[in-house]
Structure 1
Amino acid sequence: MKSRLRYVYDHYRFLILRRTLQLGILLLFFGANAWGWSLLVGDLSSSRILNTVPLADPLAVLQLLLAGGALAGQVLVGALIVLVAYALIGRAFCSWVCPVNLITDLAEWVRNRLGFREPPLMYLNRNLRYVVLAMVLVLSLLLSLPVFEFVSPIAAASRGVAFGMGMGWALLLAIFLFDLFVVRHGYCGHICPLGAFYSLTSRFRRVRVRHEKDSCTLCGLCFNACPEPHVLNLIGKHDGTVNNPECTNCFRCVEVCDDDALFVSLSGGWSK
């Protein structure tokens, strides 16, 4: 029993923490609407902690500003709080908070179970998400509307849990099927403008994955587990940290590494 628990801890500790946080946030949103809880009220676009501390999606706020909307000071403060937090810890929203990650990871698990592979001619450049981000901002300015907020699966999922899903389930199902049958991690890794936004704003993050070359046997498990495998370009080549800001800090690579060649790095230091 002890060895089994040790195995689960070594290989799934960050995954369990991520799922607990993701589902816990959704539960708090649901509880606020259904039972009057006040710990976290709202949704992932705009919320309040204990009805006091504002939080806001900085990309949504940027779209509203470009659309010419008048925003309350607390909304701007909430966006700044979130922006600074992810600037320090990296693109962790995508793997630790975003509910769409639950759906895309489920699609990944199913496709691995069924042995699905991408069609040989199917290729999406990961820079496409930056094009989508630019289009969202330009259209928000031209149309005077926060364009992405009308089609955002992130907003649909968090509002759906809190207030009722409506037709949001169709959008989430489409993402699941796209990731399952077309491109591995297709939506989050190639299309999502919010992921692109947080990649741009987390270049100086303090939390990173560190690699120790001498311990690495080039088994490839980290590449198979990583949703953004191109960020692991230093594996087997040299010591150092994963500096590509597209890393989501999910730490799956750390968990699956049986060589103990990957660690969580904090503020320039590092620890196992």
Structure 2
Amino acid sequence: MRSLQATFYRNRWLFSRRIVQCLIIAAFAIELPAGGYFAQGNLSSSVWFGIGLTDPYIWLQSLFAGAPLGKAALIGVVIVAGFYLLLGGRIYCSWVCPINLVTDLSYWLRQKLNIKSNYTLSKNLRVAILVLSLLLSLLSGTLAWETINPITLFQRELMWGSVAGATVLASIFLFDIFVTRRGWCSHICPVGAFYSELGRVGRLRIKATQAGACHGCAECIKVCPEPHVLAPVVSKKAAYVTHGDCTRCGACLDQCSTGALAMSLSFKKPSAFKGIPVVSSD
């Protein structure tokens, strides 16, 4: 029992994320005894306990496609956008998005198989795909990205055994293993690009706990899905991670054995430790 508790503590952020992700999937997939589901729809547009929620990126595509500005949809967008603006947009990627389950498994297998191949892709690629999806929505009058969105296809695969969903998921899985580290989420997915921009001002941040706690082992950077966001803190050039790419996954917190890092929600202007300025890494 003590060993199990120790394992959970060493991976508490990972386990917490998995619980949240599985509960969200279950809310859509498991039918209640009295009929119906906790959540109706999908992660793009859904109803939770009578409250409609709409993904801001999907809503933006619909505007470009010429859809009318519905009041109910707008309220749902404001709720979701406000949540991610507060906490930091890419928390969606690590705590909500089901594709994270696939890409994390790919990364784990990649490490176990000691695969070193890492094809270089620009992080600007996902931004370009984001812009292209909006342009195509404008020109075609359709939700361009939603037709191939792996997040939606993942849910269809779970519920109806979609062949298209299985094909896309397998492609992402193999791409992340054999082509490039964290290829899909870090370099291609426009959803991540959108939430990165949305959540730049998020107040939930990774921070250095005290100036002398970090031993410089850089183990946190090795496990971080976006290593560049931690570099200023580890090199003691900043006290907080402020980059929009941070997913708030907590992998660095699980890995750090000295307690040099923490994650906190603060509405105050970040204060620096002596000798360590607070600078933006954007």
* More off after superposition, 158-167 vs 245-254: 158-167
Q: CA deviation digits over 1:238-260, x for unaligned, max 9? A: 45110001100001101110111
Structure 1 runs not aligned, ≥5 long: none
Cα distance between partner residues in 1 of 2:177 and 2:28: 28
Cα distance between partner residues in 1 of 2:123 and 2:41: 31
Q: CA deviation digits over 1:213-256, x for unaligned, max 9? A: 41111112101110000101221324511000110000110111
Cα distance between partner residues in 1 of 2:66 and 2:77: 17
User: Could you say which residue in structure 2 is the equivalent of 1:98?
Assistant: 97
User: Could you say which residue in structure 1 is the equivalent of 2:179?
Assistant: 182
1:194 aligns with 2:191: yes
SS of structure 2 residue aligned to 1:214 = coil
Structure 2 runs not aligned, ≥5 long: 271-282
- 8 Å Cα contact 2:32/2:38 also seen in 1: no
Cα distance between partner residues in 2 of 1:169 and 1:240: 42
- Change in Cα spacing, 1:34 to 1:146, as seen in structure 2 (3 Å) is farther
- Change in Cα spacing, 1:266 to 1:99, as seen in structure 2 (3 Å) is same
User: Could you say which residue in structure 1 is the equivalent of 2:146?
Assistant: 149
Amino acid at match of 1:73: K
Q: 2:167 aligns with which of 170, 181, 187?
A: 170
User: Could you say which residue in structure 1 is the equivalent of 2:44?
Assistant: 45
Q: How far 1:75 moved relative to its partner? A: 1.7
Cα distance between partner residues in 1 of 2:75 and 2:128: 28
Cα distance between partner residues in 1 of 2:33 and 2:252: 38
Q: After TM superposition, list the pairs within 5 Å mapping 1:1-272 onto structure 2.
A: 1-2=1-2, 4-32=3-31, 36-50=35-49, 52-90=50-88, 91-119=90-118, 122-211=119-208, 212-234=210-232, 235-268=234-267
- Change in Cα spacing, 1:166 to 1:74, as seen in structure 2 (3 Å) is farther
SS of structure 2 residue aligned to 1:41 = strand
What is the identity percentage for the equivalent residue pairs of Structure 1 and Structure 2? 40
Q: How far 1:7 moved relative to its partner? A: 2.7
Q: How far 1:32 moved relative to its partner? A: 4.3
Q: How far 1:182 moved relative to its partner? A: 0.4
- 8 Å Cα contact 2:29/2:37 also seen in 1: no
- 8 Å Cα contact 1:18/1:96 also seen in 2: yes
Cα distance between partner residues in 1 of 2:32 and 2:58: 22
What TM-score, normalized to structure 1?
A: 0.92
Q: How far 1:169 moved relative to its partner? A: 0.6
Amino acid at match of 1:37: G
- Change in Cα spacing, 1:176 to 1:264, as seen in structure 2 (3 Å) is same
Figure out how many residues of one structure are paired with residues of the other and give that number: 266
* More off after superposition, 32-41 vs 61-70: 32-41
Cα distance between partner residues in 2 of 1:145 and 1:188: 24
- Change in Cα spacing, 1:64 to 1:268, as seen in structure 2 (3 Å) is closer
- 8 Å Cα contact 1:29/1:161 also seen in 2: no
SS of structure 2 residue aligned to 1:224 = helix
